[in-house]
Amino acid sequence: MGNQRSVSGVGGFPHFMPPKKSQKGLYYLNSARSCLYCLLKAIKPKTVYFPKFVCSSFLSYSLELDIDFRFYSIDENFLPLVSKRAVSDSNSLIIYVNYFGICSAQAEYVINKFNSQRVIIDNSQSYSFKKENALATIYSPRKFFPLSDSGMIFSDIKVEVPNEFGSINLSHFDKKSRGFHDAAYTDFLACEDMLANAGPLALSDYSLRLLQSFLGDRKSLSIREIFFKELDERFGSINLLKGKFDNSSQKFPLCYPLQLSPAIHTSTLVEKRVFAAIYWPNLANTDLNTFELSLIKETVNLPLSNIYDQRDFEYLIETVSSLINS
């Protein structure tokens, strides 16, 4: 007797088991900007207080929503310069970025100040991957794992995830594994462009399966905290940002931000093949305050990824030390 069940095909070649069912209150999309868009579409706030100092891509999709975005600055302790009263209206929200993944104490302060149900935490630069005590928490796991796409929302709000799926693009990881960093970087940039143009999409099953296995083994990320501590021991006494982020033991660092006077420049590190990111250079000509500008112009964000052994780590320390002493 024929089996009426439709199958996409058995046998052929090995493949992942289907992804685990998503838990309640956890949504997977192709990027953090997609998460923000779908979340705000579901919440429908009238006014959203949004940081001036954050990657411009984050807001790109949400600008089409009928929301009055009001842009705020941060102070020298990474805290929003927004009054409690401004966000007290039930139609208002504030989005706070946990900068570099080392501002958990500030995120907690913001949640307490404005009321948890008025706050969305952007944990795109953190690898804690847990729900904060806020209306919603957004993550961008692709900043920590070898994935071309991925975004996560933790929220009790019911979010509509798009029906269409994104696609995974692994060519830059393949090239990097073969030792071709520069070619891999070119592919990475092309992949970022594709993601930017893709729009809000659900995370593909393949990426989701990879992400779930990475999340199951996220202890591998904790080496970042050890590197962070060692860099802080080495450079903390001259780091002008020291004291602004070390009041919390909850650190899930993306990088080690080192602000010096005189500053060393990211380009000189890159010449020595230490690939430090700048957050966010295209904001330099916008209406930022002195502190925010110093985070672009006088801060080098020492990388905590692609450090495979002690020799790599020592190379990083020696390179930075030699630039400081030159």
Residues of this chain that bind ligand PLP (CB under 6 A):
31-33, 54-55, 57-58, 97, 122, 124-125, 140, 142, 151
Helices (H), the chain: 32-43, 57-60, 104-114, 171-177, 181-198, 205-216, 223-235, 266-271, 290-297, 310-325
Nearer to ligand PLP, 214 or 319 (CB): 214
Of 106 and 140, the one with the shorter C-beta distance to ligand PLP is 140
Q: Which is nearer to ligand PLP, 202 or 319 (CB)?
A: 202
Give yes or no for a contact between 82 and 35, defined as CB atoms under 8 angstroms apart: no
Residue 237 CB-half CA count within 13 A: 3
Burial zone of 314 (CB within 10 Å; 0-12 exposed, 13-18 middle, 19+ buried): exposed
CB of 303 to ligand PLP, least distance (A): 14
Q: Minimum distance from CB of 28 to ligand PLP (Å)?
A: 12
d(CA 159, CA 174): 34
Q: How far apart are CA 134 and CA 106, in angstroms?
A: 13
Which two structure tokens, joined as six digits, stand for 278?
């700048």
Orientation angle between helical segments 310-325 and 223-235, nearest 10 degrees: 30
Q: Of 92 and 140, which has the nearer Cβ to ligand PLP? A: 140
- Which is closer to ligand PLP, CB of 124 or CB of 155? 124
CB-wise, 82 or 319, nearer to ligand PLP?
Answer: 82
Nearest approach, Cβ of 135 to ligand PLP (angstroms)?
Answer: 17
CA 136 from chain centre, in angstroms, equals: 15
Shortest distance, position 290 Cβ to ligand PLP, whole Å: 21
Q: How far is the CB of 66 from ligand PLP (least distance, A)?
A: 21
State the nearest-atom distance from the C-beta of 184 to ligand PLP, in Å.
18
Which residue's CB is nearer to ligand PLP, number 34 or number 239? 34
Distance of closest approach, residue 320 Cβ to ligand PLP, in angstroms: 22
Angle at 75 between CA 71 and CA 81, to 5 degrees: 45
How many angstroms separate the CA atoms of 122 and 36, rounded?
9
Please state, in angstroms and rounded to a whole number, the distance separating the CA atoms of residues 33 and 47.
Answer: 18
CB of 314 to ligand PLP, least distance (A): 28
CA 236 distance to own-chain centroid = 24
Taking the least distance from each CB to ligand PLP, the nearer of 33 and 172 is 33
Is the Cα torsion angle 74, 44, 47, 114 positive or negative in sign?
negative
- Give the CA distances from residue 89 to residues 45, 82, 100, 325, in Å, rounded to whole numbers and listed in that order: 10, 13, 30, 52
Nearest approach in angstroms of CB 107 to ligand PLP is 12
What's the rounded Cα separation, in Å, for the pair 254 and 303? 8
Nearer to ligand PLP, 120 or 319 (CB): 120
